[in-house]
Structure 1
Amino acid sequence: MTREAVPAAGRRFRAYTAKHLDELTARAGLSADERLAVRAVAAVLPFRVNAYVVDELVDWSAAPDDPIYRLVFPQPDMLPAADVAEIAGLLSAGAPREELNRAANRVRAGLNPHPAGQLALNIPRAGEEPLPGVQHKYPETVLFFPKQGQTCHAYCTYCFRWAQFVGEPDLKMANDDIGSLVRYLGAHPEVTSVLITGGDPMIMGGGVLARYIEPLLALPQLESIRIGTKSLAYWPQRFVTDPDADETLRLFERVVDSGRSLAFMAHFSHPREMAPPLVHEAVRRIRDTGAVVRTQAPLIRSINDDAAVWADMWRTQVRLGMVPYYMFVERDTGPQDYFAVPLARASEVFNAAYRQVSGLARTVRGPSMSATPGKVCVDGVLEVAGEKVFQLHFIQARDPELVNRPFFARYDEKAAWLSELKPALGATHFPFQLAPSAEADPVPAVPVRPAHP
């Protein structure tokens, strides 16, 4: 197979932050007032992008409507108009940083900064000491948040972990003591899979990443190590031309040679992210280590809420040797009201895309909600005993007895999250509300969101 040419030397990484927003959004043709509103949103939600995304992925001739632009640049209407106006006023008046932070924190507090009880999960099991940066989410799966991986090459505007990036210590999940994780796993032999996540672990250099991963290879129970990352889309140089690209790939080889599966969980939100030849070469090099590249992304209104976009993504991923894995539902946090697609529409998009691809792409699952009790998949809409309902099931659950057990919810064309659904067919509770773990791990009350446009 003839490979497309890639640069012989990588360009230096350059990050753009909120202080660059005015000049960048001017390229999109925004007026002064619109640029001020964008800066107001960026005072609440994090903004970071890099030169590769700006120069190679954004179509500036189509901005601000371009999907990649919307993927990384704040939108003036992502937050309530009154909140944006208040913070814009403070910015215009040159208000002190402390006053601006107070206003921003008030807005953040109303955005459900830690959905699905994430901070509570830092106490892995009842009666055990808190272990910051560790989530024992499912019996066999532990998530680890390395301290040096708590940023990204660029931030997605829809990111459900936005609270990690706003500089508030009480909202962060992080740990720099890999020994504490190894000790915890030694006491929990039921754990067979560790997911290293963030932020983005691939923001770390090869040597730092090795210090977190190599101690895990001494645990005989571990079958797989997963790395959740957006780096293939936002900085593929990480695996091709960066100074430590080869060092990182040798680390991947050591994991595979140890007899474990290394799953590289790549986030691709739009087909254009996979178009550059540099991405193709990065995927090839990762796969050559023996790692499996699995792909996932949320369904995001105004960015990828189109069946043709998803079918294109899945076909491209299969062609490049990647494995389509998940279509997620936008979580109930941050600007969910702006980006979320109602569950009924999400099911339509998924099924229409699924019908367009071959069996090799039908490894993908969704649309899936990563809710407190587990990953809930919307199987579809049907009529049972004269009642229109959603059929759902757990792909994964904190209570293993719930996995793959179908249940039903009343059809609601506006519902966008599990907390907005009601039991159907005369039931008074969902199965997860009756499960033995429900009393110990209750589903927190989440306000019902306004109707989506």
Structure 2
Amino acid sequence: MAPVSSRPRFYHAAHLDALTARAGLSARERLRTRAVAAVLPFHVSDYVIDQLIDWDSAPDDPIYRLVFPQPDMLPDEYTELLVRLLRRNASADEIHSAARAILAKLDSHPIPRPEQHSPTLDGLRLQGITHKYPETVLYCPSGGRRYATHDVDRLTAYLRAHPAVTDLLLTGDDPLFLTANALSRRITPLLSAPGLRHIESIRIATATLARWPARFLTAPDAGELLTLFERIVRGGRNLALMAHFTHPRELRTDHAAQAARRVLDTGASIRTQGPIIRSVNDSPDIWAELWRTQTRMGMVPYYAFVERESGPREYFEVPLVRAHQIFTTAYRAVSGLCRTVRGPVMSAEPGKVVLDGIPWIHGHRYLSLRLLQCRDPSLVNLPFLARYDPAARWLDDLEPALGTAHQPPWPLLLGTRPSSARNNPAASW
């Protein structure tokens, strides 16, 4: 097993020219890549660079395409504007101002952030906490986010006041980049505080198994982290790592296999999820291999997401009909043990919407959808139809079928974005 660093080292924009030269890009292509990186920051670990990317296949390697800015991620006029600024050695402030204006146009319909739905306790809004569904609270403990919180006392007080909550999800910036000690300070009170036995499950959303498996192997506090996992499980809670994987190569290294075994040995489970991404994993064979490998390693396939509509969405997104074809073809190729996975799923503002099928009804095709989760529990598992649209890429691109706009859940779904955006969903730049 090739050695990996116990602490991740990161490559940034300053390293782009050398790395893209290694990938065989011309001087002009490298400059265009730097231009895109001014808008979509480049930040990748040495593990990805050294262990996951096949440099003989770059720049067409799927992991390379996933983590490196691509010259065509932005409309040409934006890329060329930044190229001109770079060529004349414009000031950092000027470049940053132009990049910020471009990013605002890319994110003209941004995904709601957790702080937009922060609950209140005793009349005060709770930063870093989102009561997303009746039974689920999201907690952002990591310091990198402006909506993160270190106030565990307020969290425990809120949970104690809401006995219907059974599930706590740690999310935001990857919580496992916290030290084991910092993470313990945030979790241990939940295990010992009175009045919190209704919290049955603790979930941790993380990409470390795919991008930094040394977190569980050779990191200075790896042992402490695994001991914390064991303590959570011994305390009677279900602990699940919601592990982000995008490509089977992330599972093929000895480091990933060892890390997964160590996590599972603590009694925690690993549930896997990831998005369907154009030019990276938009192939049924890739998804079938991903699910089979995860199942063989003791993980549980959970979600296959539709790529979210933010940032360079037109570069990575796959039409819903195509996503369903990819998912269904892969689903048919795996055993029942892999069929715990659900998809293609849109993590939308009202909740998680799955595209179940494309039925023919009286000679017409429709999209059959269902809310797997919703802020309004009465709508959970409720099927509904949309008009067939092979170009639709997100929930708000769809129109109700058979004039059912006033039937649940369409009023809720249609109210998630201004009508002007719904009428012209492609107008995103």
Q: Please, what TM-score do these two structures have when normalized by structure 2?
A: 0.93
The partner residue of 1:71 within 58, 66, 72 is 66
Structure 1's unaligned 5+ residue stretches are: 151-163, 165-171
The partner residue of 1:142 within 109, 124, 137 is 137
Distance across 1 between alignment mates of 2:155 and 2:13: 35
Q: 1:30 to 1:10 in 2, by over 3 A?
A: closer
**1:180 counterpart residue number:** 154
Distance across 2 between alignment mates of 1:134 and 1:113: 25
- Matched letter for residue 443 of structure 1: T
Aligned-residue offset at 1:183: 2.1
113-122 vs 379-388, which moves further: 113-122
Distance across 1 between alignment mates of 2:236 and 2:57: 47
Q: 1:430 to 1:88 in 2, by over 3 A?
A: farther
Deviation digits for residues 392-437 of structure 1, max 9, x if unmatched? 00110010011111000000000000000000023124622446xx
Q: 1:434 to 1:12 in 2, by over 3 A?
A: closer
113-122 vs 386-395, which moves further: 113-122
1:16 aligns with 2:19: no
Structure 2's unaligned 5+ residue stretches are: none
1:282 aligns with 2:277: no
- Matched letter for residue 59 of structure 1: D
Alignment of 1:382-393 (within 5 A): 382-393=359-370
Give the SS at the match of 2:356.
strand
Q: 1:333 to 1:125 in 2, by over 3 A?
A: farther
Give the SS at the match of 1:74.
coil
Distance across 2 between alignment mates of 1:349 and 1:190: 37
- Matched letter for residue 332 of structure 2: R
* Contact 1:122–1:130 under 8 Å retained in 2: no
Q: Percent identity?
A: 53
- Matched letter for residue 207 of structure 1: N
Distance across 1 between alignment mates of 2:24 and 2:376: 51
The count of aligned residue pairs is 422
Give the SS at the match of 1:366.
strand
**2:37 counterpart residue number:** 42
Q: 1:324 to 1:180 in 2, by over 3 A?
A: same
**2:426 counterpart residue number:** 450
Alignment of 1:95-174 (within 5 A): 95-112=90-107, 115-119=110-114, 121-124=116-119, 129-148=124-143, 150=144, 172-174=146-148
- Matched letter for residue 196 of structure 1: L
Aligned-residue offset at 1:127: 9.9
125-134 vs 39-48, which moves further: 125-134
Q: 1:394 to 1:321 in 2, by over 3 A?
A: same
Aligned-residue offset at 1:386: 2.8
The partner residue of 1:92 within 59, 84, 87 is 87
Runs of 4+ aligned structure 1 residues displaced above 6 Å come to: none
The partner residue of 2:55 within 57, 60, 63 is 60
The partner residue of 2:270 within 271, 284, 293 is 293
* Contact 1:327–1:367 under 8 Å retained in 2: yes
Give the SS at the match of 2:138.
strand
* Contact 1:387–1:425 under 8 Å retained in 2: no
Distance across 2 between alignment mates of 1:116 and 1:418: 13
Distance across 2 between alignment mates of 1:291 and 1:187: 27
385-394 vs 358-367, which moves further: 385-394
- Matched letter for residue 100 of structure 2: N
Q: 1:314 to 1:139 in 2, by over 3 A?
A: same
- Matched letter for residue 203 of structure 1: F
Deviation digits for residues 1-54 of structure 1, max 9, x if unmatched? xxxx675x8555311111111111111111111111111111111211111111
Q: 1:45 to 1:25 in 2, by over 3 A?
A: same
1:335 aligns with 2:312: yes
Distance across 1 between alignment mates of 2:121 and 2:371: 23
**2:238 counterpart residue number:** 261
Alignment of 1:363-382 (within 5 A): 363-382=340-359
Aligned-residue offset at 1:186: 2.0
Q: 1:120 to 1:235 in 2, by over 3 A?
A: closer
The partner residue of 1:203 within 169, 177, 185 is 177
Distance across 2 between alignment mates of 1:408 and 1:145: 35
* Contact 2:405–2:411 under 8 Å retained in 1: no
Q: CA RMSD in A?
A: 2.1
* Contact 1:308–1:353 under 8 Å retained in 2: yes
